[in-house]
């Protein structure tokens, strides 16, 4: 829709900015809103940091001596799994945040003004990835403090970061869809718990070879394990093989499904 703007001489002229411009502008406005919420609700960052930090210290100093992972030091085996686990923990807060916006009428107010509907969900997704990034940086620092010694090259680190961010973005869209499906904040938190605990049934903390056959088959082939093994291999300078490609295919596919599903759920809810 063409709007009118005023020139310095008071003469109206058409606003020639495109729909794409306004869509990008609306997304940036909502992203800034959600990022400001992080400064006003520091408990979100506290949760994103303290829970994985507690797990890291618990497994490093209490359980690590009882877990055999072969020739690799357990702390080196553990930290990549904690990085993936810290991203999964963001799922709950994202689902709850999306559901809270639906319940509290925030989206109803958005719909009374001309704005891109995509901005509502994209703002939550970007905020989730931002929280995950802060958690990742903190966990790497804490891991190094307790003995983590990565051996990957600069390129390996870049690839590992790319894999983690793809995982974070995909999981954020899944969390947004869960928040739209839920009918209450408690329901959204319960649904988010599914993905929060999924890394425990992966290679994040123990080698799949030590598990019973039935459970081992699931753990070895589930998509979270592929991310863990990819990140671990890259950070420790170990061969990754086809695992990285399989992880990328899985999580690009999940992202390709979750994003349109979340968008469709949003439109259906407010049709």
Q: Is 217 within the bounds of a domain?
A: yes
Q: Is 9 within the bounds of a domain?
A: no
Task: Tokens for 60, please give them.
Answer: 């490093």
Please tell me the distance from the alpha carbon of residue 108 to that of residue 122, in angstroms, as a whole number. Answer: 17
Q: Is 254 within the bounds of a domain?
A: yes
Higher pLDDT, 46 or 238: 238
pLDDT at position 154 is 94
pLDDT at position 117 is 65
Q: Is 8 within the bounds of a domain?
A: no
Domain that holds residue 73: 16-269
Q: What is the pLDDT of residues 84-140, one digit of tens each?
A: 999 998 888 888 888 887 776 666 666 666 666 667 788 888 888 988 898 999 999
Of all residues in the chain, the percent with pLDDT exceeding 90 is 40
What does the radius of gyration of the chain's CA atoms come to, in whole angstroms? 21
Q: Is 4 within the bounds of a domain?
A: no
Q: Is 2 within the bounds of a domain?
A: no
Per-residue burial over 219-252, b = 16 or more CB atoms within 10 Å of its CB, e = otherwise: bbebbbbbbbbbbbbbbbeeebeebbebbbebbe
Residue 255 half-sphere exposure, CB side, CA atoms within 13 Å?
Answer: 16
Q: Is 199 within the bounds of a domain?
A: yes
Q: Is 259 within the bounds of a domain?
A: yes
Contact 115, 154 (CB under 8 A): no
Q: Count of domains in the chain?
A: 1
- Total-model pTM: 0.84
pLDDT at position 6 is 46
């Amino acid at each position: 829709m063409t709007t009118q703007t005023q020139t310095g001489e008071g003469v109206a002229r058409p606003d020639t900015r495109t729909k794409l411009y306004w869509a990008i502008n609306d997304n940036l406005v909502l992203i800034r809103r959600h990022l400001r919420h992080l400064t006003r609700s520091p408990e979100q960052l506290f949760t994103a940091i303290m829970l994985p930090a507690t797990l890291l210290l618990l497994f490093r100093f209490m359980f690590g001596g009882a877990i055999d992972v072969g020739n690799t030091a357990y702390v080196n085996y553990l930290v990549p799994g904690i990085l993936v686990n810290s991203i999964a923990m963001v799922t709950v807060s994202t689902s709850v945040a999306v559901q809270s916006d639906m319940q509290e009428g925030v989206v109803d107010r958005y719909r009374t003004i001309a704005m891109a509907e995509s901005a509502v969900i994209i703002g939550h997704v970007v905020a989730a990835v931002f929280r995950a990034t802060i958690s990742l940086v903190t966990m790497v620092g804490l891991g190094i403090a307790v003995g983590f010694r990565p051996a990957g090259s600069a390129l390996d680190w870049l690839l590992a970061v790319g894999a983690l961010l793809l995982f974070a973005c995909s999981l954020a869209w899944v969390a947004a869809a869960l928040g739209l499906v839920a009918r209450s904040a408690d329901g959204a938190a319960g649904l988010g718990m599914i993905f929060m605990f999924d890394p425990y049934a992966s290679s994040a903390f123990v080698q799949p070879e030590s598990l019973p056959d039935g459970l081992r088959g699931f753990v070895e082939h589930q998509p979270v394990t592929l991310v863990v093994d990819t990140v671990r291999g890259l950070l420790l300078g170990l061969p990754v093989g086809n695992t990285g490609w399989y992880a990328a295919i899985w999580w690009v596919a999940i992202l390709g499904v979750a994003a349109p599903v979340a968008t469709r759920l949003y439109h259906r809810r407010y049709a």
